[in-house]
Chains A and B, each alone.
Chain A
Amino acid sequence: MVSVKKIVLDVLKPHQPNALEFSKAIAKAGADYRVHLLVLEMDENTETIQIEIEGNAIDFKTIQSAITDMGGSLHSIDEVEVQNEADAG
């Protein structure tokens, strides 16, 4: 089975919820998610952020839904790390 281990996303979001609440909401989407959020650019009403998520089996759809729920908009998937678990064993 192929699992996503790491994903880096480029997201546009409103100032609120703030970076801390935003990353917490994404981390809550999975039991072992580790989130690293970096603010790349600040505008009057929005900010461009880069979110790096690491986990054992990342579910992209739940992350996308968490981002949309917080009012964010996914711009691009900048980096992905996947692993074939069968090969790994």
Chain B
Amino acid sequence: MSLLNQARFLLDITRTHDIVRRYFVVNGFDGALTMLGLIIGFLVSAPANLSVIINVCLGAAIALGVSGMSSAYISESAERRRALGKLEQAMISDLHESAHGDATRWVPLLIALVNGLAPFVISLLILLPLWIFDAGISLPVPPLYAAIIVALLLIFLLGVFLGRIAGTSWLRSGIQTLLVAVVTAVLIYLFAGH
């Protein structure tokens, strides 16, 4: 069985597909909004050096990734161990060497990876225009605005993804998540812009 099929099988027998998807969206959204908040914060503040902005955002991205990974691993490990114990009680046998035992060991790791990588990768994508500009390549819009556009696009795409899962209008769902981003931006301007 290939690694991907094995992962799919373990998620299948633990019925954790939904949890992985939920973690991906929730933490991905966290990452995108955090970067958006940081960048708008820099925009409304006194002009800062681009390398400082990149380092601050990268620091936050790494922290989000590590936090997502560790929290998901700890909570999912506990959940999986509890589920295995319950199943062992029902089966009146030791399941550690079975596929359920494998799932108890590997599923928390898989979920932790998704939960940690989603905000990290999304944050890196948002920071991409800043790196490009820092490398000396000119952009059609100032780098901070370009990063905001990427953040809004990714937030919209997360909404589209949610819409497709729910089987509702992808456009409506995308606009809904985009509205959350706009409200966040307005709040930052209101509280930090003065």
Contact = CB atoms under 8 A, between A and B. Distances in A.
Interface stretch (B39-47, B89-97, B158-166): B89-97
Contacts of B100: 14, 71
B98 interface: yes
A16 B93 contact: no
Contacts of B93: 73
B19 interface: no
B183 interface: no
- What's the dominant secondary structure at chain B's contact region? helix
B176 interface: no
A12 to B, nearest CB: 6
Contacts of A71: 13, 87, 91, 95, 98-100
Interface in A1-58: 12-14, 16-17, 21, 43-46
A76 interface: no
Contacts of B184: none
A21 B10 CA distance: 12
A59 interface: no
Contacts, number: 44
A12 B91 contact: yes
A83 interface: no
Contacts of B15: 16
Contact of B90 (A16, A44, A68, A70): A44
Interface string B67-106: 0000000000000000000110011110101111000000
A16 B10 CA distance: 10
Contact of A17 (B13, B90, B95): B13
27 contacts: A12-B91, A14-B90, A14-B91, A14-B95, A16-B12, A16-B13, A16-B14, A17-B9, A17-B13, A17-B99, A21-B9, A21-B13, A44-B90, A45-B86, A45-B87, A45-B91, A68-B98, A69-B97, A69-B98, A69-B99, A70-B99, A71-B13, A71-B98, A71-B99, A71-B100, A73-B91, A73-B93
